[in-house]
Amino acid sequence: MAEDNKVGEERKKFNMRVFGSAPWLKGIEKQRHRTKVFKSGNSLAVRIPSGTKLSAGMEMDLLVEDGQFLSYDPVEQPKRMFNIAKVAGSAISLKPIRPEDRIFEDSPLRSRDTSKDEQ
């Protein structure tokens, strides 16, 4: 058992080295917990252990196929709309940009120096 933990730790270290600079390639970390189904009023409930990224009151989408529990996913929360009425008029000291301040000088494009890359 201790050797399995050692192998697992070595694999984690390897993955951190390989995927550390490319987090989008990192595999999903999974944890397995044993829990019991219990009755809560007229419904069934599952106690979810702490230490997960779930919080009380989160809305979940439960996938059940052939009467067996398969998985659950958080429901996408609607994006909050920005309420401009709350900030309108709060920056009264700001002035519009003058047209002469909007003019930028043209600068030549810099070419990439490939001689440094070849060394």
Determine the pLDDT at residue 41.
92
Selection from 66, 69, 74, 76 nearest residue 45 by Cα? 69
Share of the chain above pLDDT 70, in %: 77
In tens, the pLDDT along 34-86 reads: 888 899 999 888 888 887 778 888 888 888 888 887 777 888 777 778 777 77
Beta-carbon contacts of 74 under 8 Å, excluding residues fewer than 6 positions away, are 54, 58, 59, 60, 61
Give residue-wise pLDDT tens across range 65-78: 888 877 778 887 77
| SS3 (DSSP) at 50 | coil
